[in-house]
Amino acid sequence: MSERKIRVLVAKPGLDGHDRGAKVIARALRDAGMEVIYTGLRQTPEMIAAAALQEDVDAVGISILSGAHNTLCPRIVGLLRERGMDDCLVLVGGIIPQEDVPRLKEQGIAQVFLPGTSTEDIVRFLRENVRPRV
Amino acid sequence: MSETKHLTSRAQEALERWEQETLQPVLRKRPESKERFETVSLDSVERLYTPVDTEEIDYEQDTSFPGEFPYTRGIHPTGYRGKLWTMRQFAGFGTPEETNARFKYLMAQGQTGLSVAYDLPTLMGYDADSQLSEGEVGKCGVAVSSLADMETLFDGIPLESVTVSQTINAPASVLLAMYLVVAEKQGADWKKISGTLQNDILKEYIAQKEWIYPIRPAMKLVVDTFEFCTKYVPKYNPISVSGYHIREAGATALQELAFTLRDGIEYVQWGVDAGLNVDEFVPRISFFFNAHNDFFEEIAKYRAARRIWSRVMRERFNARDPRTMQLRFHTQTAGVSLTVQQPLNNIVRVAIQALAGVLGGTNSLHTDAYDEALALPTDEAALIALRTQQIIAEETGVVNTIDPLGGSYFLESLTKKMEDGALDYFAKIDAMGGMVEAIEKGYPQREIQESAYQYQKAVERNEQIIVGVNKYRIEDEKQMSVLVIDEAVRDRQVEKLQGVRARRDEGAVANALEKLKRAAQAGDNTMPATIEAVRAYATLGEICSALRDVYGIYEEPAF
C-alpha cells in the first residue's frame, strides 16, 4: 500500500490581498509531493474551517501579512477543534512580530514561520509533525 | 554614417585585441567566480561594454536631450538643478488623528509632499464597523469611513498648497470625492489643487488584489475620474499607473516595466474610446515604479519607460502636445527587499535603491523605513528614511548634472534591452486583445507567479544572496521594538462612525445613494452623484455597497 500523501490547506484569511507567499508555498509543497488546496483570498475563519473539514486535510497553513493574526488565528484554531479536527496542524506565516509568537503557540498554532523562512523548512516541519493516518 | 561604421569596426578590432592580449592570459591563470553573470531580468550581463554595444543607438533619435523627445534623459531641461524631486513619504496608521499628527511631524522635518496609506477595510470599501473589518482597522494604514474622518485627516493641512498622493484603488472615486469636498470646505479652489490618486485598478487584478467590482465597470469608474478631473480639477493627477505592486508580487524589472506601461496604454485607450482627447487627459496620467536592488537595471528601467511612453503616445495615439509624451513618475524603494534579519542593513539597501531612482530621474520618491519588514514604521525609522533622501540630495553631488550615467555603454545597452523586451510583451498582450483580456486569461498573473517562485528557489539554492538571510547570518538576534497598533482603534472609529450616522440627514443619504445607483445603471459619469453622497455623509461602505448592487463583485478565476 502506498503511503498517503500529506494534504494541506493553504489559507488567506482577512482582507489582505498579498498572496505572493501563499502561492509560492502552495507550489513548493506540491513540488514536495503533497496535495495542496488553496482557498483563494479573503476567506473568513468559518470558510477556512469548513474547507479544512471538507478536504480532510492534515494541516492548515495560514498566510497573514496585515497584522490581523492575533484576531484571526485563534478563531480558526477554535473552529477546527469544534469540528473535531484535533490532529490538524495549524501553521502561520507572514509578517508576525516575534513577541506575538509565544501567545499564538499557546493558542494552538503549531508553528509560526517568519519572513526569510526557506520553503524547505516548512516541508520538513510538515513531514516531521503530521500524524500518520491509516 | 560611414564614419560611425568605421569607428565601430575600429572599436570591434580594439576589443578583440584587448581580449587576446590582456584578458585571455588572466583568464587562463584565474577563471572568473561564476560562469554566467545575470541581472534580475536578463539572462546574461557581459564582462565589459564598449562602443560596439551601443552602435545601434542613435544619440539624437534614441537618447536625445533632457526635455526633448523621446525624453530618455529626463523630462526637465534642467533636471534636478531646477527642482529636486518631491520627497513624499507614504504614511498612515491608526486613527485619522494619529495620522494627521504624523503628517505634521514629517512636514516639520522638511518633507515636501504627503502620501496617504489607508487601512485594508478602506481599501476594500468597508466601514470600520463591518464584521469583515475585525482585526484590520488602522493596521496597515489610516481608517477612513466617512467625510468626517477625511476632515480630521487633513485638519490644518492646506490642500490648495500641499500636494497629496492617495493610495486607494477600488473605491478611489469615493476617496477623491471626500478629498474634493474637504478641499472645498477649506476654501480651496479645485482648479488650483494638485495631487495624485493611485486609482490603478488593473494592477489590482494583476498583483495587489484589492478589488471590489468586476474589471469592466471598475475601468468605467476610472474613466469617470479622468473625465471629471480634466474638466473640474485640471492640475490633479487622477491616476498613478503602478508597477510597484507588480514588482512586489514577484515580477522582474522587465515585467514591471512592460505590464505597467501596457496598463497605461489600456487606460489611454479606454479614455479615447469614451471620447476624451489624448492631449487633454494624458498629461495628467502619472506613473509609479519600484526601486529594487539591481542598481543599473533599475536605472535602465526608468530611462526606457520614458522613451517607450513618448513613442507610444506619439505613434499609437497621435499625441501632439509634448506633455502627453512626458512620463512623470514616483518611485518607492522595494519593501519586499527588506529583511527582518539584521534590520539596520535595510537602511543601506534603501539608500542604494533610492540612488537608483534619483539617477533614473524620478519626479518624487518614497524611501522605506528599516523596520518595515515587520510593521509600520516608528517615528525614528520614518525620520531616517527621509534623511536618506536628504543626504542624497544635499551631500552626494548626484543632482549637479542631468542624467549623469547617460552615455555609459552598459547603461545605454541595458536601456535598449529593456525597451525591446517591453515591446515584445506589448505584442503578446495586443495579440490577446488588450490588457483587460490578458488579465481575464490570467496571463500577467501567471508570469508574475512564475517569477516569484523562481526567485524563491534561487534564494534557497543560494544563487541569489540576501545578506543576513542566506549568507552572513547572526543567530539569536535581538528583536527590535516596532510600532503596535492598538486594537482599541477600531472601537474609537466605530464610535465616531455611529456619531456620524446619528447626526446626518438620513433622507438626504438615501436620495444621494439612489441617484448614484441610477447614474451607474445609466452609464453616466458617477462622480457628481458620488460627491453628493459624500457631502451628505454617506459612508464609504454604503457608497461601495450601492455600486456593488449595480456592478456586482469580482471573483478571481483559479489559475
Domain annotation covers residue A103 = yes
Percentages of chain A per state (helix, strand, coil), in multiples of 5: 45, 20, 40
Count of domains observed in chain A: 1
Which grid cell sits at B23?
A: 584578458
Rounded CA gap, B286 and B291, in Å? Answer: 16
Q: Let me know the angle formed at the C-alpha of B405 by B402 and B407, rounded to the nearest 5 degrees.
A: 100
- pLDDT average, residue stretch B420-425: 98
The answer, yes or no, to whether residue B6 has pLDDT greater than 80, is no
- CB A71 to CB B466 under 8 A? no
Cross-chain Cβ contact A17/B449 below 8 Å? no
> If you search the block for the grid coordinates 444621494, which residue do you land on?
B512
Q: Please name the residues in contact with B196: beta carbons below 8 A apart, sequence gap of 6 or more.
A: B163, B164, B165, B166, B236, B237, B239, B240, B286, B330
The answer to the question of residue A129 being in a domain is no
Q: Would you tell me how many other CB atoms lie within 10 Å of the CB of residue B408?
A: 16
When scoring A20, A46, A65 by the number of chain B Cβ atoms within 10 A, the one with the most, hence best to mutate, is A20
Least confident of A66-70, A107-111, B504-508, B525-529: A66-70
DSSP secondary structure, B422-462, as one string: HHHHHHHHHHHTSHHHHHHTTHHHHHHHHHHHHHHHHHHTT
Quick one: average pLDDT of A27-39? 96
Residue A127 belongs to a domain = no
Nearest to B525 by CA among B229, B239, B235: B229
Residue A134 pLDDT: 58
pLDDT of A1 reads 46
**Surface of A (8-47) touching B: CB under 8 A:** 14-20, 23-24, 27-28, 40-42, 44
CATH of the domain at A86: 3.40.50.280
Partners of A99 on chain B (C-beta within 8 Å) are: 479
CA angle B209, A118, B557 (to 5 degrees): 25
On average, the pLDDT of chain B sits at 95
* Closest-CA distance of chain A to residue B433, Å: 27
Residues B450-487, buried b or exposed e (16+ Cβ, 10 A)?
Answer: ebbbebbbebeeeebebebbbeeeeeeeeebebbebee
Residue B466 touches partner A, C-beta closer than 8 Å: yes
Sign of CA dihedral B248, B251, B254, B256: negative
pLDDT tens figures, B505-533: 999 999 999 999 999 999 999 999 999 99
Pairwise CA distance, residues B296 & B408, whole Å: 10
CA separation for the pair B150, B144 (Å, rounded): 7
Contact B115, B162 (CB under 8 A): no
Residue B244 CB partners (closer than 8 Å, separation 6+): B288, B289, B290, B332
Which of these, A13, A103, A24, lies nearest to A64 by C-alpha position? Answer: A13
pLDDT the model gives residue B1: 46
- Interchain pair B339, A16: CB under 8 A: no
What are the tens digits of pLDDT across the range B426-481?
A: 999 999 999 999 999 999 999 999 999 999 999 999 999 999 999 999 988 887 88
Rounded CA separation B139/A68 (Å): 8
Least confident of A5-19, B33-47, B237-251, B403-417: B33-47
Contact assignment for B339 to A115 by CB distance below 8 Å: yes
Question: Where are chain B's structural domains?
Answer: 85-193+485-559
Q: For residue B558, which phi and psi values (nearest 5 degrees)? A: -85, 130
Q: What chain A residue is nearest to B486 in terms of C-alpha separation?
A: A67
Total beta-carbon pairs less than 8 A apart between chain A and chain B: 93
User: Identity (one letter) of the amino acid at B428?
Assistant: K
Q: Does some domain include residue A133?
A: no
* A15 — pLDDT class (breaks 50, 70, 90): very high
* Cα–Cα distance list, B531 to B146, B157, B241 (Å): 12, 21, 24
A89: β partners: A59
Closest chain A residue to the Cα of B130, Cα to Cα: A15
Q: Is residue A130 part of a domain?
A: no
Q: Hunting for cell 498554532 — which residue is that?
A: A109
Listed residue (B206, B201, B228) closest to B217, CA to CA: B201
Whether ipTM exceeds 0.85:
yes
Q: Which amino acid is at B299?
A: I
Q: Is B2 exposed, middle or buried (0-12, 13-18, 19+ CB in 10 A)?
A: exposed
| B339 → closest Cβ in A24, A99, A116 | A116
Residues with Cβ within 8 Å of residue B80, at least 6 apart in sequence: B358, B393, B399, B402
A44 within domain boundaries: yes
Q: Which residue range(s) make up the domain with A67?
A: 7-122
Distance (Å, whole) CA B364 – CA B355? 12
pLDDT of residue B476: 84
Which of A15, A16, A114 has the CB atom closest to B340's CB atom? A114
Quick one: how far is CA A105 from the chain centroid?
Answer: 13
Handedness of CA B85, B369, B173, B357 (dihedral sign): positive
pLDDT for the residue B559? 64
- B334 in reach of chain A (CB within 8 A): no
Residue B484 pLDDT: 82
Res B135: pLDDT: 87
pLDDT at B230 over 60: yes
Report the percentage of chain B scoring pLDDT > 70: 98
User: Which residues have C-beta within 8 Å of that of residue A84, sequence separation ≥ 6?
Assistant: none
> Does residue B50 sit in helix, strand or coil?
coil
pLDDT at residue A29 greater than cutoff 50: yes
